Structure 1
Amino acid sequence: MQTAFKLFLCWALALFVFQASAQATMPRKGAPKHAMRDGAAKKFGKMVEIRKGKESPLTRTYTAENGTKVMTNGTVVFPDGRKEKLAEGYAINKQGNKVILEDDMIAPKEIREQKQRVTGDSERTITVTEKTRVIINDSTGRKAVRDTIRTTETK
């Protein structure tokens, strides 16, 4: 009885892990398609090349700007000679960096348009003004006071 219970528990845990991993690799139902940056990626178990926002099967070795090579079987050879298999949902961008496909390969124009759709906001500039007073006492007993103002703009 104990052995049967342990087997059932192991089977249920394995089923849960398999289900969770399957959900992690599949896109959400109804998720919008985004224009992607150039590179090579592994999607749904297949290697694809992304060029000018369009995906096509990877039929030849993809070479990035820094010399990183992506083979059709998913093997990545970095310029330092290190090799690794590209995991599902990852990509090698045009510069040769390994990135997360759905987060880092979206084109900047698409990011701005998505932000506009979701928040209704266009870009804005944030200006931060910081005032600082520094008091310096030296060994002769003199005192120097410096007031500084620093302004930082962020877009």
Structure 2
Amino acid sequence: MTRHRWAATALCLVAVVAAQAKWPAPPVPSPIGFQSINDDRLSQLRRQAMQFVESRPRQGFQFVERHRDTEFQVHCRGVPVLWLERRSQHLLLRVSLDAEQRAPAVLQLGTLLQWQLQPLGHLEQVLAGVPEPVLLDWVLQVFAGEVPDRMRCGMQ
């Protein structure tokens, strides 16, 4: 009976890996934790992200506001590539692992936003529960392959 369970478990793992190779999930973002900010500062960062999108009208970018006072995103052809989320004790700025390939211009926006924020130290991030990128995320990104040209933004 034990051999059957091992065989069934191994078969399930192979099926999961094969399914991920055939239908890769959107890349997982790598979060970065920052000190909390006030509403005015968040509004300023929101405006910068909106200006980024508005200055590229035909490049496939969209500004998506999840919650006015807590979260906004920049999408590339419907796929999130940058998130800014205010939590109770800190701020998260995340950029998709495939942003360099999918939407290289969004990396500049991420850098601009980061430059204006005070990063949390490593211990502060751990204590605040800021999730860290995992090696598995990077491996899945490698297996996901190239982003098709029709799904890229900023290429004109």
TM-score band by shorter chain is under 0.3
The TM-score, its normalising length taken from structure 1, stands at 0.26
Say which one has the larger Rg. 1
With a CA cutoff of 8 Å and minimum separation of 6, indicate the structure with the bigger relative contact order.
2
TM-score by length of 2: 0.26
Greater share of helix residues, 1 or 2? 2
